Amino acid sequence: MYVFLVDDDQDDRELFEEVIKGIDNSIHLQMFKNALELMDYLNRDDITLPQIIFLDLNMPLVSGTESLKQIRSNPRFMDISIAIYSTSSLEKDIEETFVNGANIYITKPNDFSILKKTIKNVLNINWQYFGSGMDRKNFFYSV
Across 41-67, b (16+ Cβ under 10 Å) vs e yields ebeeeeeeebbbbbbbbebeebbbbeb
Please list the pLDDT of the chain residue by residue as tens digits (143 residues): 999 999 999 999 999 999 999 999 899 999 999 999 999 999 999 999 999 999 999 998 899 999 999 999 999 999 999 999 999 889 999 999 999 999 999 999 889 999 999 999 999 887 655 554 455 555 665 55
Q: In angstroms, rounded to a whole number, what is the distance separating the alpha carbons of residues 82 and 97?
A: 10
Mean pLDDT, the chain, integer: 88
Q: Give the chain's domains with CATH numbers.
A: 2-141 (3.40.50.2300)
pLDDT for the residue numbered 21: 95
pTM for the full predicted model: 0.89
Q: According to the model, what pLDDT value does residue 60 have?
A: 87
- Do 43 and 69 contact (CB within 8 A), yes or no? no
- What is the predicted pLDDT for the residue at 110? 87
Look at residue 89 in the predicted model and tell me its pLDDT.
Answer: 87
Q: Which of 49, 51, 27 is nearest to 131 (CA)?
A: 51
* Per-residue pLDDT, 71: 96
Cα–Cα distance measured from residue 68 to residue 23, given in angstroms and rounded to the nearest whole number: 26
What DSSP assignment string belongs to 63-128?
-HHHHHHHHHT-GGGTT-EEEEEES---HHHHHHHHHTT-SEEEEPPSSHHHHHHHHHHHHTS-HH
Q: What is the pLDDT of residue 57?
A: 93
| d(C-alpha 97, C-alpha 56), whole Å | 11
